Structure 1
Amino acid sequence: MRYRQFGKTGWRVSEIGFGGARIGGLLAKDGGRASSLRTLEAACDAGINFYDTADMYSQGESEVLVGNAFRNKRDKVFIATKGGYCLPKRKRLIQLIKPFAKPIVRALGLRRSAVPAALSAPLSQDFSPGYLREAVEASLRRLQSDHIDLYQLHSPPREELTGSRLQDALELLGRLKTEGKIREYGIALDSVYDAVHCLDMEGLASLQMPFGLMDLQALDGVFDKVSERQLGIIARGCFGGGALKQSLTETELRASEPQWERALQIKRLAEQMQRSALEAALQFALSVERISVTILGMRTPEHVATNLQHYAAKPLSNEEKRALLAR
């Protein structure tokens, strides 16, 4: 595993990081506790030292699993989590009954598609200092840690980023840093175009944003501006949200992916390079030196092994990169 500087923090983080959105969950396939812990252990054994989760992932269970995995080797990893989404009462109830419900769910073979719409409704957000302090304390308990390495505001909408209220949240995070509860703080963005609104915010250590062969907008000067501020860059979604999986047919892509033509183009180019599309996508992300860490979602030890194979592949040549960049 190779490591990169994380902005101005002085941290050395693994080039690929573990995305914790897919571990845990009442209806997650292959999402049992033992399997998730083996997955986290396999990633750590491979040298991955950056783990990105959030308090909303699997109603907090993702944080619990990360905490269990690293409670005895806390100094070996960087744990990044997020807050700002509010868990509705009905989902908090699910969190409480989950240990008893999981065996029933597995026995019945239920899937996410069986979740009632009322339980999968959009979540509200709260970036007030009072709410965030409680959220940080709750994350610390789930992570079984006395500190969080990187605490990120989770997808604040543009009106929050451009308004004045977020300053109160940043001041609170600054106080939590002084108290030692968090080491650094940043923002996880839904759009690279929101990065410009964060560049002059005081105290930020990082920005997380979507980037990959199907999300190239950050190359249009965004990464340059973020790097000039010495902020760590966390890239996510380099696999196009699953659109680059080999198993997806053209018919399935047309039905599910607005950029289906781009996905097919990438797959054809990768085949000509004698690579899989996922390998080409990861190697492309790794070729962007400004990125501090590329987050990959992993749910099973097999996912870890496959991602490590993509990581160990031969880097893209300049000719291959030019071909993949052609739009």
Structure 2
Amino acid sequence: MHRFRWLTIAILTLVLAACSPGAPKDAEVVIPPGASIAKAGQILEDAGIVSASSFRNEARFFGSKDPIKPGEYKVEKGMDAGDILALFQSGKTIQRLVMIPQGMPSIMVWERLMAEERLTGEIPVPPEGSILPDSYAFTTGESRAAVVKRMQAAMDRAFDELWAKRTPRTAVKDRNQAMTLASIVEKETSVPAERRTVAGVYTNRLAIGMKLQADPTIIYPITKGKPLGRRILRSEIQAVNDYNTYSMAGLPKGPIANPGKASIAAVLDPEANDYLFFVAKGDGSHIFARTLAEHNANVQKWYALRRERGEM
């Protein structure tokens, strides 16, 4: 009896091997959520990799009971039905990523997603400040709307966690104010160690009703956050709108970019300092001042140095 059983298995193995030649080429296939063995087999056959019957038979007679997992897989040349089944059950999918850097405005997030040819469907420009900057995995054929939903859900989780840790020093009263100020901080400094200091400056200004005078708020209504590509005009500095913090006191009506977690955390727990001014040193960092006289001296000093270096 045992001999008969092993003989049967041996015969089946030979038959299946004969009917299941290795994949003729490297190929990439997408297994949708909820796909059955039969569906996966048909996808493989349509791609010219192995026959659907070979894949089904391999799963029926020799495969484990582990489910196949959805995602995009690379099937390498020479893999037989059994190898492919094991691959699908392992969940070792191709990791395609779309990266959203800190401070990227939503119009550029939209352009990046629309330029990704492996994604599908149309989307509107996401609301500013709703996307958490990070790298996001996606599958070929996935909808852009689904990717945006993950990005926004990540921001919701991050904000809720940070909001719960806010300190009494913060000047913001709600999420919109927090995202708005965080987006300004994000645009004003690229130095991680400065974020809480810059947030402290703006918190101090808001406390005494002083204009924020943040250059990125001048640019946002003009370009929606994209680089201006030239010097700011006097007329643009004087423009009156819902964003320009040179022509109004207080915060703009909304965010001017998508801030990262560090900038959000900075405005929710700003540094306790008495600075009211800062000027760029030309290397991405800034020098801070408490008085206008001190600030003007810093401006003259650093502008002179930057002119010497040919930066201005």
Tell me: higher relative CO, structure 1 or 2? Use CA pairs within 8 A at least 6 residues apart: 1
Greater C-alpha Rg:
2
Q: Which has the higher strand share?
A: 1
- Fold-level match, TM-score > 0.5? no
Give me the TM-score of the superposition, normalised by structure 1: 0.23
